[in-house]
């Protein structure tokens, strides 16, 4: 009689238990405790006990899942879209033109896409691991303004999950104050595929950060940083940054092109100095 009753209760209550808002964990824990007592009394636990245990485990897993709101799902999809678009652009190796080439091998290239406009691509090799770079550029993104003089501030507005967040960034003046500060509200989306890390992003809207007086709200995206260990030395990283930005305002195109390409080249140097200074501090 008892086995039949448990079977019936487990079958009937499964869908209802998933939607309960109170005492859910307590109910599941009580069920598990009762099953344990029964199994102790009867060492040859029958199949119905094992079935209920599996169902109880499934219910517990459902409790632990974090549901996303409609808005949060939209942000996650935006991040995925930014990544897919960026990968598509980077996979097409034709049509790139040189903008800046450094003596150390750093180079910035550009090309114009019909549906996006002009995009820029930075390619460098960093003498640091991709895991370290991932941590600096995603996990510690709010500290970027401390080592990159082109950034005033980066603030995390909302963390949706371990891969997706909303941020607000404010840039400094550029080109001898010819370009006033800009700000961006962005989705940032991180993804790992094997040993390769992707940090993608694009502009979005959020009521948490309305437009600010005296600052032009610019738009970016799709944009993506790709971190891949070099074939010669896995402790070094091949660093690729796809940049697409509309600075808005009344600015000559030649000026914005110069500002964006130079900002990429400068970024690589600022990041190197920051990582080297951290390494030197850890060695002391």
Q: Give mean pLDDT, residues 25-40.
A: 48
Q: Which residue has the tokens 């060695």?
A: 283
pLDDT in tens, 133-157: 999 999 999 999 999 999 999 999 9
> Region 256-269: what's the mean pLDDT?
95
Residue 1, classed as helix, strand or coil, is coil
What phi, psi does 269 have (nearest 5°)?
-70, -40
Report the mean per-residue pLDDT for the chain.
83
Give 284's pLDDT tier (boundaries 50, 70, 90). low
In this prediction, residues 201-206 reach a mean pLDDT of: 96
Contacts of 257 (CB under 8 A, 6+ apart): 99, 110, 118
pLDDT at position 221, please? Answer: 86
Q: Which residue has the tokens 């738009």?
A: 219
Pair 119, 89: CB distance under 8 Å: yes
E strands present in 116-260:
117-126, 151-159, 164-171, 182-193, 196-203, 216-217, 219-220, 223-229, 237-243, 245-246
What's the half-sphere exposure (Cβ side, CA atoms, 13 Å) at 197? 21
Mark out the alpha helices in 20-149 (DSSP H runs): 24-41, 47-64, 70-91, 130-134, 144-147
Is the pLDDT at 189 greater than 90, yes or no?
yes
pLDDT higher than threshold 80 for residue 9: no
Which pTM was predicted? 0.77
217: which strand partners? Answer: 183
d(CA 182, CA 251): 13
- CB neighbour class for 21 (10 Å; exposed up to 12, middle 13-18, buried from 19): exposed
Instruction: Taking residues 202-207, report their average pLDDT.
Output: 96
Which tens digit of pLDDT belongs to each residue from 233-251?
Answer: 999 999 999 999 999 988 8
Residues 224 and 87: beta-carbon distance below 8 Å: yes
Closest CA to 153 of 184, 198, 117, 132: 184
Instruction: List the structure tokens of 246.
Output: 């509309």
Task: Read off the pLDDT of residues 102-130 as tens digits, 9 standing for 90 and up.
Answer: 999 999 999 999 989 999 999 999 999 99
Q: Which of 138, 147, 165, 151 is nearest to 225 (CA)?
A: 138
- Identify the residue with better confidence: 213 or 220: 220
* Residue 45 pLDDT class (50, 70, 90 cuts): very low
pLDDT value of position 177: 79
Tell me the average pLDDT across 188-203. 97
- What's the confidence (pLDDT) of residue 22? 43
| CB atoms inside a 10 Å sphere around CB 256 | 19
> Which range in 2-6, 62-66, 224-228 is most confidently predicted, on average pLDDT?
224-228
Q: Which of 75-89, 104-118, 126-140, 167-181 has the lowest mean pLDDT?
A: 167-181
State percent of the chain over pLDDT 70.
75
């Amino acid at each position: 009689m008892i086995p039949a009753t448990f079977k019936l209760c487990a079958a009937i209550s499964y869908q209802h238990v998933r939607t309960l808002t109170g005492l859910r964990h307590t109910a599941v824990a009580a069920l598990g405790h009762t099953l344990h007592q029964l199994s102790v009394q009867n060492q040859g636990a029958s199949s119905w006990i094992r079935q209920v245990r599996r169902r109880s485990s499934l219910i517990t897993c459902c409790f632990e899942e974090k549901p996303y709101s409609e808005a949060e799902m939209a942000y996650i999809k935006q991040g995925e879209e930014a990544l897919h678009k960026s990968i598509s652009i980077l996979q097409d190796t034709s049509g790139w033109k040189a903008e800046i080439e450094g003596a150390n091998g750093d180079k910035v290239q550009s090309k114009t896409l019909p549906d996006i406009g002009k995009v820029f691509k930075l390619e460098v090799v960093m003498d640091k691991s991709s895991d370290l770079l991932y941590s600096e550029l995603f996990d510690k993104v709010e500290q970027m303004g401390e080592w990159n003089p082109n950034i005033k501030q980066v603030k995390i507005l909302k963390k949706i999950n371990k891969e997706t967040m909303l941020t607000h960034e404010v840039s400094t003046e550029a080109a001898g104050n010819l370009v006033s500060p800009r700000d961006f509200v962005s989705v940032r989306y991180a993804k790992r595929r094997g040993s390769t890390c992707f940090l993608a992003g694009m502009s979005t809207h959020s009521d948490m950060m309305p437009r600010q007086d005296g600052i032009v709200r610019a738009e970016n995206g799709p944009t993506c940083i790709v971190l891949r260990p070099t074939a010669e030395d896995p402790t070094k990283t091949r660093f690729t940054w796809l940049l697409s930005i509309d600075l808005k305002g009344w600015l000559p195109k030649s000026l914005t092109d110069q500002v964006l390409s130079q900002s990429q080249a400068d970024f690589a140097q600022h990041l190197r100095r920051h990582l080297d200074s951290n390494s030197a501090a850890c060695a002391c």
